[in-house]
């Protein structure tokens, strides 16, 4: 018999407690007493969860001014790792976000402090943002595998890049370079840059890695528009600020003439296509497959 799905959640409850004197609060009841209590009102129930109760005769001196609660981590058990039908998209995203701890540092400034200082609502928003980035990473990598196959099958079609999922989102003025070999290298760069999101913070080491990270964040932002619930204003712009050393690669999406392409090649660091896989100075070494030591001869 298949196990019955059970929902496990970590719930954070914040109480604003007002009392005339700390002595009005005494040690709370144990779990057995709490479960057997039949006449407990809402305030007593909440107070019992934080292991305090109101001293006899002081009930009028203690009150709960406000409360807030939020599920900060959750999962369905007995479902082979999947959420049951009917679960909200936001719940699915939040569950994925619990696995992406590598960008917590990047969210501290956005939320004004570390997770230990966050409210329940902020913890929930953090988890959703991380889930959006996690899911976008998986989707972009998965689609790039399809792009590699598509470009391999259409090796003689110079316009095949237009029908791809991810490669078609790269700067169009460099489209003559977007063949199977390039897509494979870009896939390697994307896998590397997304894997670093779940580990220690490292700036993208090449132009290609920066472009890969940009496409992942673009996808995360599009997915956020389909979710219910508010996220902090400017969360995407904040991630751009902290995850990239600079945003010079954005200039590649602006139409360029011969002169501006020469300027890109002469920039520091250079942004011309031949430099896309060359590591920046002082950057950590990228994966060998996604790294060039010398500029390749320009094509077309």
Query: What is the distance between the alpha carbons of residues 300 and 296, in angstroms, rounded to a whole number?
Result: 12
CA nearest neighbour of 128 among 199, 187, 73: 73
Q: What share of residues in the chain are helix, strand, coil (percent, to 5)?
A: 50, 10, 35
Q: Are residues 157 and 270 in the same domain?
A: yes
Among 86, 106, 123, give the residue marking a domain's end.
86
Q: How many domains, in total, are found in the chain? A: 2
In a domain, 165, yes or no: yes
Q: pLDDT tens digits, residue range 121-159?
A: 788 888 899 999 999 999 999 999 999 999 999 999 989
Tokens of 15: 């109480």
Q: Do 175 and 254 belong to one domain?
A: yes
Task: Dump pLDDT digits (tens) for 19-43.
Answer: 656 565 555 555 555 445 555 555 5
User: How much is the pLDDT for 248?
Assistant: 85
- Examine the domain organization and report whether 158 and 212 are in the same domain: yes
Cα dist. 185→37, 43, 49, 203, 276 in Å?
Answer: 64, 60, 54, 18, 10
Q: Are residues 199 and 264 in the same domain?
A: yes
Q: Is the domain of 275 the same as that of 158?
A: yes
Residue 121 lies in a domain: no
* Residue numbers of the chain with a pLDDT score lower than 70: 1-88, 114-118, 200, 228, 256-268, 294-300
CA distance between the termini of the chain: 63
pTM for the full model?
A: 0.69
| 82: containing domain | 6-86
Residue 228 lies in a domain: yes
Number of continuous H segments (helices) and E segments (strands) in the chain: 9, 4
Query: Quick check: is 120 in a domain?
Result: no
For β-strands 25-27 and 6-19, DSSP reports them as: unpaired
Two tokens at 202? 């490292």
SS3 state at 69: strand
Residue with tokens 């490669």: 167
């Amino acid at each position: 018999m298949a196990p019955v799905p059970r929902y496990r959640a970590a719930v954070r409850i914040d109480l604003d407690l007002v009392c005339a004197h700390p002595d009005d609060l005494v040690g709370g009841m144990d779990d057995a007493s709490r479960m057997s209590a039949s006449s407990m009102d809402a305030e007593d129930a909440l107070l019992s969860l934080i292991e305090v109760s109101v001293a006899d005769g002081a009930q009028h001196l203690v009150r709960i001014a406000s409360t807030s609660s939020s599920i900060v981590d959750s999962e369905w058990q007995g479902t082979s790792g999947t959420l049951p039908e009917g679960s909200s998209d936001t719940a699915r995203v939040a569950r994925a976000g619990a696995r992406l701890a590598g960008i917590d540092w990047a969210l501290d400034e956005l939320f004004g402090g570390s997770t230990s200082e966050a409210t329940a609502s902020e913890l929930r928003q953090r988890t959703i943002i991380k889930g959006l980035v996690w899911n976008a990473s998986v989707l972009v990598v998965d689609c790039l595998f399809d792009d590699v196959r598509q470009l391999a099958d259409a090796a003689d079609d110079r316009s095949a890049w237009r029908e791809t999922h991810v490669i078609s989102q790269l700067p169009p003025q460099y489209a003559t370079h977007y063949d199977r070999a390039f897509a494979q290298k870009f896939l390697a760069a994307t896998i590397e840059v997304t894997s670093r999101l779940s580990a220690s913070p490292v700036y993208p080491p090449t132009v290609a890695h920066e472009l890969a990270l940009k496409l992942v964040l673009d996808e995360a932002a599009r997915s956020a528009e389909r979710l219910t619930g508010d996220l902090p204003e400017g969360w995407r712009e904040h991630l751009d600020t902290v995850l990239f050393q600079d945003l010079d690669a954005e200039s590649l999406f602006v139409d360029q003439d011969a002169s501006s392409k020469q300027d890109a090649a002469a920039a520091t660091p250079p942004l011309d296509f031949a430099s896309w896989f060359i590591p920046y100075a002082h950057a950590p070494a990228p994966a060998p497959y996604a790294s060039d030591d010398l500029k390749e001869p320009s094509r077309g």
